[in-house]
Structure 1
């Protein structure tokens, strides 16, 4: 007895062909390319949500470029805005911004791994390599364990922060609005995003040091990096820290204390807020040293600050936070490696050591390359911005350099240029924020599709004169 064989229909064949093409396209993408496309997708969805009529108040219409700029700033945890976050957006729009900050802070890969864990699916090698790219892991074996710490620690820190902020905001704005303000600013501070929805902005609490100190603690928690926190929390069991954590903690502490003292020097008369004195003054300058480097919350106007303060802020923003954290910049460990290399070279030592360990040549080369590429990148984008924005004499060189460095470091501070950017200027800053969050190396590898290439031969070695 013969069996009737059913052949697939034309529609089924077309669907199968399309699915195969999509799988082939995705399989051709490198890990950095997947990461970059994923982040672009998050930004696009966020911009479309912000274009909905119930995302903004009344007749306060805005262009798609404004929505795209806001979504890019939120997803890249920067904080630069072309519209007032507190008055322009409705509660729904502010919730969209808060969700984008959360995704940008933890990385969209965190939510992918959370989905894997919830559905008990196993991560393949490609997924684990993407995780390694996001969090700069040295190995792949503990990928799921790392994300367990990332999710749990992030939720706990933000909940504690929101609880500590709640009494202050509820006292000023009532229960419903106060609770939302507490949650929003806990998320924004931990994500080092710098977004504020307070009616008077960050300046409202310059005279309330305890609020500043709570937000500063959340900023530090986010900027230290998840791997450092894991090492610190496991220290009581392991009684040791990795070299990365040691260097990150030393550099973070040195930068906070050093910049705090320098701000006391540059703003010795504190002309920006002459009414502050005693503990309030100390808390405010400490907050400046913490927030200006990574987060972008500012309780004072930069128009009142000394030029030395502005220059110091640019240098701080360029350094940024720790690798694998919610902050941007070239990272504290990069600066630490270069300082150690400089110290060793000046003393005539070939090896670069720290905490009884010798740093690899790859570490040093990667740090030097990052510094060079980032400075080249900042120079090119500053030049492009000057071609269009530099025609306005009101916004000179310092405004543009400050804006570009702030966007690259995802710090979110501005001298006042952001709302006055034209379309081309907005595109330049959006590109800068995107690269600053995803990472210079990730974007470079996405474009160039870099892969290891071991040549079977070597050319003769020769030196050139330096200096």
Structure 2
């Protein structure tokens, strides 16, 4: 809210919404990042995006290490839970890997993006835009300094390669990246890495293909381009960005209702655990599908890639999915009850906030003060994770009595 951060007077609500959207790496915006924020203001947003992408616990460990302070056993336990690690021995090495991956990927991404942004905006402005978009893309934030997003670069080859590579790498998770670089292919990879790669390999072609089929003749999106390659390029970018990154190279408000519904489902799935992405996560979605298939095949044990998946993991998937759906539907209910808007636009906004995606059907500017507060809360819960909320509210008790099994009719 300081004068050196903005080019015009903004309200506390504007500042709080923007800060929350940045630190939760969401990308929903009530301000024009390029026009309403000065260079200093854009730097503040970039720093918040970087901290939010690293994660609170990872950042805390880096601060302790820089100050020479011991993390302690409690800190190790919290970090282990935050990064989904079963062993505390590998935690510090994983944190170092995270920092290396962030610096290398964002640096290379910024250098590559200069090929697109410097010719467009001049040397210094183009250089800054390259750095800003590289940080925003790798952390799956979706913030852009251009008023209409990346629409002016809809068919630019550099943008359509570098930006997706950055948010795909950032979205698969640091654990997967570490596994890919430190172990041999296939046999040396963990079950988590294999499931994450399988889910990503299925979801990307599916989302790209469905977007192309549904929007091919829509004059507001793909139909505006006569060239078949141009339509395919836009389908590629918009298909892969939907689950978490939130960049757009076409008008999201002009999407068919069927495409918007597909986007909602993809935003709720999100990216990978221990990544810069939100949603219930790809691994959760895959385990849920495997558990459903196992039930109909009358299997008493769930397994994948020659490894069994314990009951505790399946219950965790059920809890995560249930809490997420409750939060999303509660958010939609509250928003529809307090706003006179199109139901699909509101549902899209809530799903985008929960999945920390940042795509919008031009509804963010229509939010009231109360609506902004609701979206801020959903963005926060979507970033810290529904299970964190569950663990915070629940207490762990050891059962002292075993009850006889009862008969229950389901379905």
* SS of aligned partner of 1:55: coil
Q: How far does residue 453 in structure 1 lie from its aligned partner after superposition?
A: 1.2
Please say if residues 110 and 151 of structure 1, whose CA atoms lie closer than 8 Å, have aligned partners that are also in contact: no
Distance 1:318 1:237 in 2: 30
Change in 2 beyond 3 A, CA 1:322/1:237: closer
Find the aligned partners of 1:118 and 1:128 in 2 and give their Cα distance.
16
CA distance in 2: counterparts of 1:281 and 1:416, whole angstroms: 22
Matched-pair contact (CA < 8 Å) for 2:175–2:274? yes
The ranges of structure 1 where at least 4 consecutive aligned residues each deviate by more than 6 angstroms after the TM superposition are none
Does residue 346 of the first structure (1) align with residue 292 of the second (2)? no
Q: CA deviation at 1:313?
A: 0.4
1:326 aligns with 2:276: yes
- Structure 2 gap segments, 5+ residues each: none
Bigger shift: 107-116 or 370-379? 107-116
The correspondence for 1:166, drawn from 114, 119, 124, is: 114
TM-score, normalising length: structure 1: 0.85
Q: What is the correspondence of 1:374-393 to structure 2 with a 5 Å cutoff?
A: 374-389=324-339, 392=340
Residue 419 of structure 1: how far off its partner (Å):
0.9
Gaps of 5+ in 1: 1-50
Q: What SS does the corresponding residue of 2:25 show, helix, strand or coil? A: coil
CA distance in 2, matches of 1:459, 1:81: 52
State the Cα distance separating 1:282 from its structure 2 match.
Answer: 1.8
For 1:134 and 1:177, how far apart are their aligned partners in 2?
A: 37
Q: Where does residue 402 of structure 2 map in the other structure?
A: 458
Distance 1:181 1:239 in 2: 41
Compare 204-213 and 397-406 and name the one that shifted more.
204-213
Q: TM-score, normalised by structure 2?
A: 0.96
- Corresponding residue pairs, total: 409
1:166-191 deviations in whole A, cap 9, x for unaligned? 12111111111011000000000001
- Which residue in the other structure is 1:8 paired with? none
| Matched-pair contact (CA < 8 Å) for 1:170–1:178 | yes
| C-alpha distance in 2 between matches for 1:67 and 1:224 | 30
Superposition RMSD in Å: 1.5
The residue that corresponds to 2:60 in the other structure is: 112
Structure of greater Rg: 1
- Residues 115, 344 of structure 1: CA spacing in aligned structure 2 closer, same or farther, 3 A cutoff? same
Determine if the alignment matches structure 1 residue 442 to structure 2 residue 392.
Answer: no
Q: Deviations over 1:179-220 (max 9, x none)?
A: 100000000000100000025432111121331221000010
CA distance in 2: counterparts of 1:115 and 1:375, whole angstroms: 35
Match of 2:152 among 204, 215, 238: 204
1:136-215 mapped onto 2 (5 Å cutoff) = 136-215=84-163
Distance 1:209 1:305, change over 3 A: farther
The aligned residue for residue 262 of structure 2 is 312
Which residue of the other structure, out of 239, 245, 252, is the alignment partner of 1:302? 252
Structure 1 position 417, deviation (Å):
1.2
SS of residue in 1 equivalent to 2:242: helix
